[in-house]
Amino acid sequence: MDINNKELINSINVMKEEKTLEAQNKVITEVLKAKFMCPVILESAPKGGGRIDINKDTKIQFSIIKTTDGKNYLIAFTSDEEVHKWQKNKIQQSLIYTFEDYAMIATNNETLDGFIIDPKGCNLVFTKEMIKEIKASITRESVVEKDTQVELGIPKNYPTELVEKLKDVFANIGTIKKAYLQLMVKDEAMSYLVLIDADGNEKEHFNTIASAAIPFLNGMPLNLAPLNTEFGQKAIENFEPFYVKE
């Protein structure tokens, strides 16, 4: 399977040596970008391995690691080599999952406690609580009270990959008419601010937008806000949208 997680493994090794907040944040950034191999048993999987088409009716059984303290974790492998460490002589079906995939499965299943990266390698655990904290710290709906002082501007290091991803997401959603990206400084904290103009309720799409954006934020928090508010209208003065529906 064509996945490359060398940067993630390097950042994990650095974190174990340095044990600094900067090193921890680098690991989180790389985890959000990474693609993992998730071992599964698929209904009607071909004997001897091979390709199988997945649809909404395909039954998937996940391989789970149970720790000595009774916790249940999904497994996230960074390479074929790590799969073989765990299961040397058996052909293993795997699906390619991202952090967001693991987060969704773990947080929606009461019997799961999170996921483990390379149990026979770096053995890095992400508990359900850690997953929720990561998602909450990175993306949120922006609520700016009246008379709150904020500074807005164009990011010096423009997040081109993030912008291109958001354009694709907005085009797929179909109801979003315009979107603006700014760097916001509020209470001395910096974040990206994306203001959205849409037909209907913009907020119903916020979870979809936030999930798609996570791998491209590089640790920068993302705030989402509707354009049709007093704050939104003032915020876009003298700014051009990065997305306009065709």
Per-residue pLDDT of the chain (246 residues), as tens digits, is 568 899 999 999 999 998 887 788 788 888 988 999 999 887 655 454 444 455 556 678 888 999 999 999 999 999 999 998 988 666 568 889 999 899 999 999 999 999 999 999 999 999 999 998 887 766 665 555 555 678 899 998 999 999 999 999 999 999 999 999 999 988 788 889 999 999 877 777 887 888 788 778 877 888 888 898 888 898 899 899 999 998
Write down the pTM of the prediction: 0.63
Residue type, 122: C
Write a three-state SS string for the chain: CCCCCHHHHHHHHHHHHHCCHHHHHHHHHHHHHCEEEEEEEECCCCCCCCCCCCCCCCCEEECEEECCCCCEEEEEECCHHHHHHHCCCCCCEEEEEEHHHHHHHHHCCCCCCEEEECCCCCCEEEEHHHHHHHHHHHEEECCCCCCCCEEEECCCCCCHHHHHHHHHHHHHHCCEEEEEEEEEEECCEEEEEEEEEECCCHHHHHHHHHHHHHHHCCCCCEEEEECCCHHHHHHCCCCCCCEECC
Domains and CATH numbers, the chain: 6-136 (no CATH), 142-244 (3.30.70)
Of 181, 230, 174, the residue nearest 202 (C-alpha)? 174
Q: How far is CA 36 from CA 47, 116, 118, 181, 242, in A?
A: 23, 11, 10, 30, 31
Q: Is 230 exposed, middle or buried (0-12, 13-18, 19+ CB in 10 A)?
A: exposed
Looking at residue 87, its pLDDT comes to 80
Q: Are 39 and 94 in contact (CB under 8 A)?
A: yes
Q: How far is CA 2 from CA 34, 36, 40, 79, 135, in A?
A: 12, 10, 18, 9, 26
Residue type, 159: P
Looking at residue 245, its pLDDT comes to 93
Looking at residue 75, its pLDDT comes to 96
